[in-house]
Each structure stands twice: as structure tokens, then as C-alpha cells.
Amino acid sequence: MHYAIIAAGEGSRLVQEGVALPKPLVDLDGRPMIRRLADIFASCGAESLSIIVNEQMSAVREYLEALAPTLPMPLHLVVKTTPDSMHSFYEVSRVFPAGSKFILTTVDTIFREADFARYAAAFEADDSADGYMAVTDFIDDEKPLYIDVDPADMRITAFRDAPSAADRYISGGIYGLTCGAPLRVLEECMAAGVSRMRNYQRALVDAGLNLRAWPFSKIIDVDHAADIDTAKAFIANT
């Protein structure tokens, strides 16, 4: 299976709050957060890793170029400034082999390694689903994306900006997808001028794709300076 990381955001809130390092290089456990993800993916047997950074992130690009020869899988580095995460996803998706599966994350998505390993193994073994979306019932996000799930089979039926009475989960920012129908829907979204990952996910449901929710015990995002200490403590206690 193939893996990808979106690390193309500007991290402007961290800069405004006094964090000098680019977000992907912030140390959470003795490693930059982007290296932590690469190591986790390698431990899951990644066949390749694709990462997109923006054109202003020279320090991140240089770090990844130096890291690439030490990784056990090929690293495909895309350097391009994009308007949003869906467009970043499109750029890295272009290198995925036809017929394969991949897992995509944002660089600041922090989770327990054991949770991720179970998720990746389940998705790789399931030939019936078009995708596995990581979800969590831990809600500590400024703009969470709520998810309607059929409890009988964990099939996702809707993505919502506001919760319904039955909603338990939000999106965790980890997307496992096949390279068939999900990427065709992505192409259609790009052609139609759609933006934002949450709107792409809605388009997947509208297209009738079989998306399953996979619960993680906890997922947190690093959006603010205070989140760095929260992430460090979370990792240390896993």
C-alpha cells in the first residue's frame, strides 16, 4: 500500500503565536512530526511515500531531500503551492499506481501508532470498500466535520458541518482510498471547481461509494502553539 502526507499549509497560526519552525519540522517526540509519520508508515510496510510541500517551505523541502535516502521506501516529493488540501491531494495522487490503495494524512494529525496499524491492516485486507475514513469521538477541533454512520456496518452516509442528533464521530484527517472510483470523483471535483477536502468527501458519498468509518481512540490536530505540548503529552502516554 502507498502513503501520502499533505504538508503544504503555511502554518500561519503557529508563526503568529511565536513558533519559529515550520509546522512539519516541529519536534513532538525527538523527531519532527513529519518524520514521525514517515516512520509509522514505514513500519506498516509502505511501498512508497508521497509528500507535498508548498514552494515557500525551503527548510522542509531540504529536510525531506536529506531524509529520502534513509527511508526504506521511495519518497516522491511534490513542491507546489496549492489553494487548499483537496488540491494538494490531487497533486500527490497523480503518482499512485493504478489499482493500488493508499492512505493520506495531513502532517499535523496526531494519533496512536497502534490505532493506525490496526486501521491500515484492516483497510488493506478489505477488498469490498472504496475507502476507510478514520474517525474519532474525541472532539477538539475548531471546525469539525461530523460524520453520519450506519452502525450496522459502519458505512458513512453523510458528512456534515453541523452535528445531527445521532452523530457520534468526526473526521480524523486520515483517508484510506482505492485508486479507482475515488480518484475519478477527485478528477470530477477538480474539473467542477470544487474546493476543500470535506466537499470532496461529500462528493464521494453522493457518487454512491462504499466508505467505511474506522474509529480511533483519539486523534488531535496541531493548529496552535498550545497544541504542541498537548501532542507531546499524548504521544508520551501512548
> What's the pLDDT at 17?
75
Q: State which amino acid sits at residue 21.
A: L
30: Cβ–Cβ under 8 A, 6 or more apart, which residues? Answer: none
Q: Which of 167, 172, 165, 143 is nearest to 157 (CA)?
A: 167
217-236 pLDDT, tens digit per residue, is: 999 999 889 999 999 999 99
Residues above pLDDT 70, as percent of the chain: 98
> Residue 15 — pLDDT band, cuts 50, 70, 90?
low
The mean per-residue pLDDT over the stretch 137-165 comes to: 91
| Burial environment of residue 233 by CB neighbours within 10 A (0 to 12, 13 to 18, 19 or more) | exposed
Residue 10 has pLDDT above 70, yes or no: no
pTM recorded for the entire structure: 0.95
The mean per-residue pLDDT over the stretch 155-161 comes to: 96
Mean residue pLDDT of the chain comes to: 94
Distance CA 102, CA 49 (A): 9
23-52 pLDDT, tens digit per residue, is: 999 999 999 999 999 999 999 999 999 999
Residue 158 has pLDDT above 70, yes or no: yes
42-84 pLDDT, tens digit per residue, is: 999 999 999 999 999 999 999 999 999 999 999 999 999 999 9
CB 114 within 8 A of CB 136: no
More reliable by pLDDT, 183 or 9:
183
CB 51 within 8 A of CB 77: yes
Distance CA 8, CA 3 (A): 16
91-142 pLDDT, tens digit per residue, is: 999 889 889 999 999 999 999 999 999 999 999 999 999 999 999 998 877 7
Beta bridge partners of 51: 5, 77
Residue 168 has pLDDT above 70, yes or no: yes
CB 44 within 8 A of CB 117: yes
> What's the pLDDT at 76?
97
The mean per-residue pLDDT over the stretch 170-193 comes to: 97
The mean per-residue pLDDT over the stretch 210-214 comes to: 98
- For CA atoms 162, 220, 59, 96, the dihedral sign is negative
